[in-house]
């Protein structure tokens, strides 16, 4: 990437996996995607007002300015999607999340934790500039925020956050990094700077990236030489910010239609991938430190909020078992395919009474889905060639009729394939848990 990880890797460390939200401009869904290398035209920053107890939760003019500088740099390097399924999904999910993140309860929690405003605070405050954008890259599984509100999510992360509950969890976590001013908190913790010194330091870093070459190297040295190498060694403090974002993010989700377990199941995926990589030490570049510890802390917090954490709920929230019914043609007849996690379970050809093949497949999908949510295990699944069915806890969830059997030549072959695909999905779930 042309954007130096030295700078924006630190931005990710500062803001973690952050988020921000604004509604897309009218007609955004129909605009062509701008190419990488183009920068947005931003309106002037509105005049700030002096800090008061009522507005102390808002960003300073310095935060907004720095965030905007970051936007210009990010969007020079990445293609931003302004239409299509990724863009539409992000905007749909984020509307509810950002509304909850700005609720009076969350603002009151920020004021309580950080005891704002300070008596010596002379900052000028302006509104948040929440924007949520998709970066067109699948090579990176990441999300990050910039001071004041800009939040970016990669296509790679959206692919991994299979369910909207998980995507909402990531966005809520990122909104906390923005709303709780974690970039500012981290720098103040690492170095006793006043506000103007702190933003000057960060502005120098962003300007250095924009200049490239020696300027970028110098900016990186400013950050690393000043305090960020020592920040990387302050393991507890980095974890504190991430833990706060996890905890408040879960609280935000309780004020939406999304399940707070979504942030937990997505963190489990990060922990799994971390284990598979062998826990590499990324130092200051590490975006998601201490993932296993965070998973454990999140589990406790979600239970404290009154939610159950069990395999059935996790399956539903994470989308671990995705059942889909799609139209199909078989020998010139209307049929339907029932798929589990993209793999074919059954081609439904025969109607059943008043049920057309597609309706019959949909009924099977709903029944299987409800049983997955009921904490079934592989020992609950068996095949019965006598009944021409796959049974889960004795219930014939897949029943093969003569016209269905014609697809593979026999009912036994159709039953066997469906049975094996269910077991394979359940085995994959177990592998993901232990690897």
Residue-wise pLDDT for 103-157, tens only, equals: 999 999 999 999 999 999 999 999 999 999 999 999 888 888 888 999 999 999 9
pLDDT at residue 348 in the model: 98
Of the three residues 249, 283, 314, the one that is the final residue of a domain is: 314
How crowded is the C-beta side of 255, counted as CA atoms within 13 Å? 18
- Asked if 263 and 352 sit in the same domain, the reply is no
Over residues 88-101, the mean pLDDT reads: 98
Cβ atoms of residues 29 and 87 within 8 Å: yes
Of the three residues 264, 294, 314, the one that is the final residue of a domain is: 314
- Asked if 295 and 367 sit in the same domain, the reply is no
pLDDT at residue 431 in the model: 83
- Asked if 211 and 126 sit in the same domain, the reply is yes
Instruction: Give the burial class of 205: count Cβ atoms within 10 A of its Cβ; 0-12 exposed, 13-18 middle, 19 or more buried.
Output: buried
Q: How many domains does the chain have?
A: 2
Chain position carrying tokens 């990010």: 74
- Asked if 245 and 371 sit in the same domain, the reply is no
Q: Which domain holds residue 221?
A: 5-314
Triad 366, 166, 243: Cα angle to 5°: 145
pTM value? 0.77
- Asked if 241 and 125 sit in the same domain, the reply is yes
Cβ atoms of residues 407 and 347 within 8 Å: yes
* Average pLDDT value for the chain: 81
User: What does the DSSP 8-state code read for residue 331?
Assistant: T
Of the three residues 314, 339, 355, the one that is the final residue of a domain is: 314
Does residue 366 have a pLDDT over 90? yes
Over residues 399-412, the mean pLDDT reads: 96
Please report which confidence band the pLDDT of residue 324 belongs to, taking 50, 70 and 90 as the band edges.
very high
- Asked if 69 and 118 sit in the same domain, the reply is yes
pLDDT tens digits for 270-296?
A: 878 777 766 544 333 344 445 778 888
Please report which confidence band the pLDDT of residue 98 belongs to, taking 50, 70 and 90 as the band edges.
very high
Does residue 84 have a pLDDT over 80? yes
Does residue 314 have a pLDDT over 70? yes
- Asked if 103 and 242 sit in the same domain, the reply is yes
Does residue 239 have a pLDDT over 90? no
- Asked if 273 and 393 sit in the same domain, the reply is no
pLDDT at residue 194 in the model: 54
Q: What percent of the chain has pLDDT over 70?
A: 76
- Asked if 237 and 372 sit in the same domain, the reply is no
How far, in Å, are 194, 204, 239, 323, 345 from residue 175 at the CA level? 24, 25, 17, 31, 40
How far, in Å, are 42, 59, 60 from residue 124 at the CA level? 20, 8, 6
pLDDT at residue 195 in the model: 53
Could you give the CA distance from residue 154 to residue 80 in angstroms, rounded to a whole number? 9
- Asked if 327 and 291 sit in the same domain, the reply is no
- Asked if 280 and 356 sit in the same domain, the reply is no
Please report which confidence band the pLDDT of residue 36 belongs to, taking 50, 70 and 90 as the band edges.
low
- Asked if 264 and 155 sit in the same domain, the reply is yes
pLDDT at residue 40 in the model: 73
């Amino acid at each position: 990437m042309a954007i130096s990880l030295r700078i924006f890797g630190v931005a990710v460390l500062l803001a973690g996996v952050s988020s921000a939200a604004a509604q897309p401009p009218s007609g955004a869904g129909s605009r062509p995607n701008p190419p990488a290398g183009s920068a947005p035209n931003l309106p002037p920053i509105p005049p700030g007002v002096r800090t008061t107890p009522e507005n102390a939760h808002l960003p300073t003019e310095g935060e907004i300015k720095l965030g905007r500088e970051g936007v210009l740099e990010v969007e020079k390097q990445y293609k931003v999607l302004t239409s299509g399924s990724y863009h539409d999904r992000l905007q749909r999910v984020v509307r509810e999340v950002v509304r909850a993140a700005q609720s009076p309860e969350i603002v009151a929690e920020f004021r309580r934790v950080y005891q704002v405003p300070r008596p010596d605070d002379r900052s000028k405050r302006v509104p948040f500039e929440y924007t949520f954008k998709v970066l067109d890259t699948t090579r990176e599984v990441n999300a990050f925020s910039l001071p004041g509100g800009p939040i970016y999510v990669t296509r790679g992360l959206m692919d991994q956050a299979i369910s909207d509950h998980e995507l909402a969890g990531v966005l809520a976590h990122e909104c906390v990094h923005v709303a709780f001013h974690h970039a500012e908190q981290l720098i103040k913790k690492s170095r006793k700077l006043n506000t103007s010194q702190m933003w000057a330091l960060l502005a120098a870093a962003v300007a250095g990236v924009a200049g490239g070459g020696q300027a970028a190297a110098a900016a990186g040295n400013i950050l690393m030489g000043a305090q960020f190498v020592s920040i990387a060694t302050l393991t507890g403090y980095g974890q504190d910010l991430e833990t706060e974002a996890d905890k408040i993010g879960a609280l935000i989700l309780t004020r939406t239609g999304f399940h707070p377990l979504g942030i937990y199941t997505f963190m489990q995926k990060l922990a799994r991938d971390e284990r598979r990589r062998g826990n590499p030490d990324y130092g200051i570049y590490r975006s998601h430190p201490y993932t296993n510890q965070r998973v454990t802390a999140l589990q406790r917090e979600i239970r404290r909020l009154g939610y159950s954490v069990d395999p059935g709920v996790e399956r539903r929230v994470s989308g671990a078992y995705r059942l889909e019914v799609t139209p199909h043609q078989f020998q010139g007849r209307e049929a339907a395919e029932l798929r589990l996690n993209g793999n074919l379970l059954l081609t439904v050809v025969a109607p059943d009474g008043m049920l057309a093949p597609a309706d019959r497949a949909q009924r099977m999908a709903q029944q299987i889905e409800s049983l997955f949510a009921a904490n079934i295990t592989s020992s609950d699944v068996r095949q019965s060639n006598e009944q021409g069915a796959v049974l889960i806890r004795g219930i014939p969830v897949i029943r093969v009729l003569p016209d269905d059997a014609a697809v593979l030549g026999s009912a036994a072959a159709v039953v066997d394939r469906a049975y094996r695909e269910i077991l394979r999905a359940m085995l994959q779930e177990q592998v993901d848990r232990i690897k």
